Amino acid sequence: KKRDVERGNHSLVKGNDRKGSRTRTNLEREKMAVCCPSTRVPALEDPSKYEKKGKIEEIEGVKAYIVGEPSKNAVFVIADVFGYDSGRHFGIADQLADEGYYVVMPDLFEGDRMTFADLGTPRLGEFIMKFKPNVWQPLADKIYAHLAAKGAQKIGAIGFCWGCWAIFHESSRGKLACGVNCHPSLRIESMMGGDVEALTEQVQAP
């Protein structure tokens, strides 16, 4: 028996022969599409076409993307090695601000960054080793001071790749109320001569 595949306004849904097959029209497919709730998370836009809602300012010499109204609840966004203005970082920060958080995403690499062409080259290891905690934590402290001045009482963080490793360090310093980690790269700790398990044991927030 042969599956029947129609190429007009109908498409085969199920069935092993012409007699048993069922079809669905384009109209029926459109009706099914509206089953998604209106409150669903919208599809992410192409980063190159995205219009950010916040603005880039300097906080005690640290360039940062700021969005949202000052609030007692703030979010510290820590980007990956490709930089805070790469990928969908702006869009994610904006979504958090839409939920009522005051969001700050600093450039902890101070203008430096990796590119996709750097992957698989010695540049990656050199970049990672350049930004040890004693380099970027003083910059992070300036962000905490800014958030406190804006009335933030609780600070959560969301990090991406390298940023997740940074969150573990910040949590071990007692700086965060909570942290969210997206594709974490905790083995960076091993690259710097540390112990990953020891770092995780020092975490003070969920």
Name the nearest CA neighbour of 93 among 118, 64, 72: 64
Tell me how many helices (H) and strands (E) the chain has: 7, 8
Q: How far apart are CA 2 and CA 40, in angstroms?
A: 39
Q: How confident is the model at residue 96 (pLDDT cuts 50, 70, 90)?
A: very high
Beta bridge partners of 77: 158
Q: What percentage of the chain has pLDDT greater than the value 90?
A: 76
For the residues 94-98, what does the mean pLDDT come to? 97
Q: How confident is the model at residue 166 (pLDDT cuts 50, 70, 90)?
A: very high
Q: How confident is the model at residue 48 (pLDDT cuts 50, 70, 90)?
A: confident
Task: Output b/e per residue, 55-80; b: 16+ Cβ within 10 A.
Answer: eeeebeebbbbbbbeebebbbbbbbb
Most distant CA atoms of the chain, gap in Å: 73
Name the nearest CA neighbour of 70 among 155, 162, 152: 152
For the residues 63-90, what does the mean pLDDT come to? 97
What is the pLDDT at residue 10? 39
Q: How confident is the model at residue 61 (pLDDT cuts 50, 70, 90)?
A: very high
Residues 104 and 77: beta-carbon distance below 8 Å: yes
Tell me the pLDDT tens digit for each residue of 118-155: 999 999 999 999 999 999 999 999 999 999 999 999 99
Tell me the pLDDT tens digit for each residue of 169-204: 999 999 999 999 999 999 999 999 999 999 999 999
Residues 92 and 99: beta-carbon distance below 8 Å: no
For the residues 60-79, what does the mean pLDDT come to? 98
Higher pLDDT pick, 62 / 32: 62
In this predicted structure, the answer to whether residue 19 has a pLDDT above a threshold of 50 is no
Instruction: Compute, in degrees rounded to 10, the torsion defined by CA atoms 187, 188, 189, 193.
Output: 110
In this predicted structure, the answer to whether residue 32 has a pLDDT above a threshold of 90 is no
The alpha carbon of residue 42 and the mean position of all alpha carbons in its chain are separated, in whole angstroms, by: 16
Residues 164 and 154: beta-carbon distance below 8 Å: no
Q: How confident is the model at residue 76 (pLDDT cuts 50, 70, 90)?
A: very high
